[in-house]
Structure 1
Amino acid sequence: MSHRIEADVVVAGGGPAGLCAALAAARMGRSTVLVERYGFIGGMTSAALVYPWMTFHTLEGKQVIAGLAQEIVDRLQERGASPGHMRDTVGFTKTLTPFRLEVFQVLALDMLEEAGVKVLLHSFIDRVSAENGRISALGLTTKSGPVEVAGKVFVDATGDADVAHLAGVPCLKGRDSDGKAQPMTLKFRMRGVDLGKVKAYMLEHPEEFYKRTPVEELPGLPLTGICGFYRHWKEAGLPINRDQVLFFAGPEADEVLVNTTRVQGLDGTLAEDLSRAEAEGRRQALMVADFMRRSLPGFEQASISQMGAQIGVRESRRIQGDYVLGTEDVVSGRRFEDAIARSGYPVDIHDPTGQGVKSEWVKGDGAYDIPYRSLIAQDADNLLAAGRCISTSHEALGTTRLTPSCMATGQAAGVAAALAAECGVSPRDISVAELQRFLRLQDAILD
């Protein structure tokens, strides 16, 4: 016999998008349940060590994401767990935001408790009760047996569109040509790194690093990210299909987070593929760490201090929404009447089959709008998406998948779900003007 829980709004997935969706819905006065499969909040941020957060700003430095996302950063700063927004010394974006993961996980739970959200951890969604396009409940497998969570409105923030898929809602996956998705990456931390030595080498050999590295500014900047060591990587000849080393500094003074492994050709929604990816990613992590220790200046005394609890998944399923955000929308900096968030992160696609990373920067004022219609699932009356699984093309996902953008769409989905639950209507039928008004009241940036 299933244990039954009821709420106005049910949020599936406790990553940054789900966290913001649950907070937003509860703060609007709706009873809210957040379901998360791990024993902690944070999604890919926590499980796959997605660090630092990029980016809250345009390339010119204008902040375009605030609201709950900025509140989280502010409260991390109050706890001494983040320096706030800093210059990105890779040069790919203007800023990035370092933070202490373990403090973030506790802060997230504190904020959920303050808002009155009921949190169900260690709860795996494996079935969805739906009829005629309307979801009535999520079925969970838990340590204490089956649990049913019923609700009026549901937010799919699972990253993999699990709720949409289980409900039979149309989903997209990978690129149009062959369905292949961006590669997965097993991230890991290293301690014992001499970042002063790394920086000195960068200043002496700027040609070995990413072309947008702000070399002229570098002497007066703390290192936050490093992309390059092209010669070292090429000479090593490791069997990893990429062309450079990428790592980010911190949060400790002798610590880096390495984002260099690359597992291609596997599907993050298939158990057997994920199993193969985990094994391959961890083998690659040991291989990369050994190479860095032997070959890179500043890493002579470094060692692995942590691997991700799971491999990082950049792309899997996403909903087929009322609007599919496309590349031209992003690159042209398109504005939408139903905008519920903005982003200044460029298109950033790790090649599903090749070595490189395809990048395109946003024109105009450096930011684009994310329309509310991209959060509304087709053929579903009471389902919204947030985070990585909103409705986009393969290319546009290369920007909307980044954590600050996920937080912004999560906040919007939470407010929309609360309005729909309060009025007893489909999320498709709420007043977008009212949604935008409430988002602005919550310090979201829409202009």
Structure 2
Amino acid sequence: MEQKIRTIHEPARDIPVRAAADILIVGAGPSGLMAAQAAAGKGLKVMLIESRGYLGGNLTIGLPILGFLGEKGNQIIKGLPQRFIDRLKEKNAASDHRPCKLHVSLTIIDPEASKTLALQLMEEAGVEVLMYVFCTDVIKEGDEVKGVIIESKAGREAILAKTVIDCTGDADVAYRAGVECHKGDAEGGMQPPTLMFSMRGVETQRLRDAIVNQPEIYDMDIMPAESFRNEKFITVGLRNQIGKARDAGIDIPVARTILITGMAEDEIWVNMSRVNGVDPTRPESYTHGETEARKQIYEIMKYLEQYVPGFDKAWLDRVAPFMGIRESRVIVGKYVLTAGDILACRRFDDAVAVASYPVDLHHPKGGDCTLEYCGDCYDIPYRTLVPAHVENLLVAGRCSSFTHEAMASTRVMSTCMALGEAAGRAARIALEEGVRPSQVDVQKLRRELKETGAYLR
């Protein structure tokens, strides 16, 4: 007999207050790390909480950082994000920013070194870090957020804060605070996620030579042969080979072969799993995505070993600890950035970041994607970080105020890092001035960003 769906009444109870902070950042991915550093200092207590047992988010799953350079070759992401790369380079754990015909620019980083550096930076900045906790609710008085409720093995606790910055990627804090949020396109379809994995023992020179010398067989999308003469590169293509593999009965979920060199000479990260219909805000859907993507890895490996030069003796080295989510909730802020703004290279008086990555839309249905370029770069206004009707809350990263199409450009890590830095500095300036973050002097914020090394037009 089918069990009826029921609700359970939870009795009211007193929740212990674990801590009180001036600025609380929820989520320690690319935007959260930058926000915490930017907010710290001048005697303020800054806290950073994270659900996983390490910091860094998508910096730790084998992805390159895209978008430090603009379409005209100039560097448009600087400030704290660049200092993060500089520190990695000191450890030989990051490449230079390399121009890329398809992705504008490519910066290879080492995932494990990124985790270690993230913790070091928080310690140096005096940020109090708390891991293994989930934000499950907010504390709100009127239209003001006063803190969050967390859950962990220690139970249910509260953290009070004068300002909260939501860097969860899923707008978890904003959603629970009653901020209007959206997911996906007009039908709710979101860009599908990918579970990255790396292979070692790859003969990268063989792969490079095949692409350069036999382009009629090993075809690339847009990218010229010269791209593969560099030590570090990314492939997007080999559609011919995927067609042959499919004819032979190998199930490949994507239309293109996306391979990224790692920091080691024989290391390749593979960006080819794809599970359509995943909603990362629903655990059953996320579980399905992780399960299916892990199954796909072994079909993809079979394809690489049999159809891509240099992989016949390679082995699976590691699988990313979680799926890379391209799309989730986004908020409705004081301004909603659109694809039209991006493609028009629009400028804003309250710009706090500049970006240039194309509108790279992985279709919610099917296995392909489309890219649209603006030809230069565009501004992201401060108002995209500010919820329309909730105070003492800023939202930074891919869950800021963007349309479905615009977020296909702003979602890359370099842009999220720049937005995190802007949010952290804004939160601190607002407290120093005794105003809400929504009322901060944006021109003062812009001056500080420029004075500390960020790029603004």
TM-score range (shorter-chain normalised) is over 0.9
Report the AA paired with residue 429 of structure 2.
Answer: L
* Identity over aligned pairs, percent: 38
1:376/1:157 Cα in 2 relative to 1: closer, same or farther (>3 Å)?
same
- Per the alignment, residue 206 of structure 2 pairs with 197
- Determine whether 1:243 maps to 2:255: yes
- Determine whether 1:331 maps to 2:331: no
CA distance in structure 2 between the partners assigned to 1:421 and 1:272 by the alignment: 40
Normalized against structure 2, the TM-score is what? 0.93
- 1:342 partner SS: strand
- Per the alignment, residue 155 of structure 2 pairs with 145
- Determine whether 1:23 maps to 2:33: no
- Per the alignment, residue 318 of structure 1 pairs with 330
Which of the numbers 120, 126, 136 marks the counterpart of 2:146? 136
- Determine whether 1:410 maps to 2:424: no
- Determine whether 1:79 maps to 2:102: no
Q: What is the RMSD of the two structures over their aligned residues, measured on CA atoms?
A: 1.4
- Per the alignment, residue 115 of structure 1 pairs with 125
Which of the numbers 166, 188, 193 marks the counterpart of 1:184? 193
- Per the alignment, residue 82 of structure 2 pairs with 70
Deviation at 1:217, TM superposition (A): 5.2
Residue pair 1:28, 1:415 contacting (<8 A) in 2 also = no
- Per the alignment, residue 13 of structure 1 pairs with 27
Which of the numbers 386, 395, 414 marks the counterpart of 2:396? 386
Report the AA paired with residue 418 of structure 1.
Answer: R
- 1:96-127 Cα distance to aligned partner (Å, 9 max, x none): 11121111111111111111100001111111
- 2:40 partner SS: helix
- 1:398-418 Cα distance to aligned partner (Å, 9 max, x none): 111100000000000001111
- 2:174 partner SS: helix
CA distance in structure 2 between the partners assigned to 1:147 and 1:84 by the alignment: 43
Deviation at 1:423, TM superposition (A): 2.4
- Determine whether 1:39 maps to 2:44: no
Deviation at 1:252, TM superposition (A): 0.9
Residue pair 2:167, 2:395 contacting (<8 A) in 1 also = yes
Normalized against structure 1, the TM-score is what? 0.95
Which of the numbers 155, 162, 166 marks the counterpart of 1:156? 166
- Determine whether 1:228 maps to 2:242: no
Deviation at 1:421, TM superposition (A): 2.1
Which of the numbers 310, 316, 320 marks the counterpart of 1:304? 316
- Per the alignment, residue 8 of structure 2 pairs with none
CA distance in structure 1 between the partners assigned to 2:359 and 2:77 by the alignment: 17
Deviation at 1:3, TM superposition (A): 4.0
Residue pair 2:88, 2:113 contacting (<8 A) in 1 also = yes
- 1:379-424 Cα distance to aligned partner (Å, 9 max, x none): 1111111111010010110111100000000000001111122223
- Per the alignment, residue 4 of structure 1 pairs with 18
CA distance in structure 1 between the partners assigned to 2:396 and 2:426 by the alignment: 11
Which of the numbers 415, 424, 433 marks the counterpart of 2:443? 433
CA distance in structure 2 between the partners assigned to 1:181 and 1:217 by the alignment: 31
Report the AA paired with residue 257 of structure 2.
Answer: V
- 1:310 partner SS: coil
Deviation at 1:87, TM superposition (A): 4.0
Which of the numbers 68, 71, 76 marks the counterpart of 1:56? 68
CA distance in structure 2 between the partners assigned to 1:411 and 1:271 by the alignment: 30
- 1:285-328 Cα distance to aligned partner (Å, 9 max, x none): 12111221122110001111111111111101011111110001
Report the AA paired with residue 360 of structure 1.
Answer: E
Residue pair 1:199, 1:223 contacting (<8 A) in 2 also = no
CA distance in structure 2 between the partners assigned to 1:415 and 1:206 by the alignment: 48
- Per the alignment, residue 7 of structure 2 pairs with none
Deviation at 1:163, TM superposition (A): 0.2
Report the AA paired with residue 30 of structure 2.
Answer: P
CA distance in structure 2 between the partners assigned to 1:164 and 1:16 by the alignment: 18
Residue pair 2:219, 2:240 contacting (<8 A) in 1 also = no
Corresponding residue pairs, total: 439
- 2:146 partner SS: strand
Which of the numbers 393, 405, 408 marks the counterpart of 1:398? 408
CA distance in structure 2 between the partners assigned to 1:309 and 1:342 by the alignment: 30
Residue pair 1:189, 1:307 contacting (<8 A) in 2 also = yes
Deviation at 1:44, TM superposition (A): 2.2
Residue pair 1:74, 1:84 contacting (<8 A) in 2 also = no
Report the AA paired with residue 245 of structure 2.
Answer: A
Could you tell me which runs of 5 or more consecutive residues in structure 1 were left unpaired when the two chains were aligned.
none
What pairs with 1:285-300 in structure 2 (closer than 5 Å)?
285-300=297-312
Report the AA paired with residue 219 of structure 2.
Answer: F
Could you tell me which runs of 5 or more consecutive residues in structure 2 were left unpaired when the two chains were aligned.
1-14
Which of the numbers 72, 90, 102 marks the counterpart of 2:112? 102
Report the AA paired with residue 187 of structure 2.
Answer: D
1:217/1:419 Cα in 2 relative to 1: closer, same or farther (>3 Å)?
closer
Residue pair 2:69, 2:97 contacting (<8 A) in 1 also = no
1:73/1:320 Cα in 2 relative to 1: closer, same or farther (>3 Å)?
same
Deviation at 1:227, TM superposition (A): 1.3
1:334/1:50 Cα in 2 relative to 1: closer, same or farther (>3 Å)?
farther
CA distance in structure 1 between the partners assigned to 2:340 and 2:240 by the alignment: 35
Deviation at 1:29, TM superposition (A): 4.5
What pairs with 1:267-282 in structure 2 (closer than 5 Å)?
267-282=279-294
Residue pair 2:242, 2:252 contacting (<8 A) in 1 also = no
Report the AA paired with residue 21 of structure 1.
Answer: A
Report the AA paired with residue 381 of structure 2.
Answer: P
Report the AA paired with residue 234 of structure 2.
Answer: G
- Per the alignment, residue 348 of structure 1 pairs with 360
- 1:8-66 Cα distance to aligned partner (Å, 9 max, x none): 101000001000001000045421100100010011222xx142111201122100110
Deviation at 1:241, TM superposition (A): 4.0
